[in-house]
């Protein structure tokens, strides 16, 4: 299916989300910081980025904005996956360029359907 870059600093969340994605046929790349994730995104050109918000250094909102403004990565959709569940967080994430905003912990069927919607599959 799709090559998905997971930008997530929690080893537990990385393991859970990787398992969920692989179980549904996706290939997963991972980065633990926003800065590393941006570099992986530029180099690997994944089909989709799943972005945490609370990250060391640059946060996920800043990284989403950087990817959306970069000619090399702007066509790669970003889905924010975060524990920050306030409507203002969701609105801000979408304003930064995210295509969708999912609150952790995600329901597997909902997350996969939203990924498929963004990917157009």
Predicted TM-score (pTM) of the model is: 0.96
Residues 81, 51 contacting (CB under 8 angstroms): yes
How many domains does the structure of the chain reveal? 1
- Is the pLDDT score of 95 beyond 90? yes
CATH number at residue 20: 3.40.50.2300
Q: Above pLDDT 90, what percent of the chain?
A: 98
pLDDT grade for 71, boundaries at 50, 70 and 90: very high
The tens digit of pLDDT for each residue in 4-60 reads 999 999 999 999 999 999 999 999 999 999 999 999 999 999 999 999 999 999 999
Model confidence at 1, in pLDDT bands (50, 70, 90)? confident
Helix (H, G, I), strand (E, B) or coil at 67: helix
**Would you say 52 and 9 are in contact if contact means Cβ atoms under 8 Å apart?**
yes
**Domain of 55, in residue numbers:** 3-119
DSSP secondary structure code for residue 58 in this structure: S
Q: What is the pLDDT of residue 121?
A: 80
The H-assigned helical ranges of the chain are 11-23, 34-44, 60-69, 87-95, 108-119
Helix (H) or strand (E) holding 11: helix 11-23
Does the pLDDT value for residue 108 go beyond 90?
yes
């Amino acid at each position: 299916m799709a090559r998905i870059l997971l930008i997530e600093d929690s080893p537990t969340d990385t393991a859970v989300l990787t398992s969920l994605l692989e179980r549904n046929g996706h290939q997963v790349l991972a980065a633990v910081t926003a800065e590393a994730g941006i570099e992986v995104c530029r180099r690997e050109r994944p089909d989709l980025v799943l972005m945490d918000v609370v990250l060391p250094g640059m946060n996920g909102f800043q990284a989403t904005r950087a990817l959306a403004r970069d000619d090399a990565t702007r066509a790669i959709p970003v889905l924010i996956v975060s524990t920050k569940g306030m409507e203002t967080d969701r609105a801000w994430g979408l304003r930064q360029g995210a295509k969708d905003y999912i609150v952790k912990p995600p329901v597997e069927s909902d997350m996969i359907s939203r990924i498929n919607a963004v990917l157009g599959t």
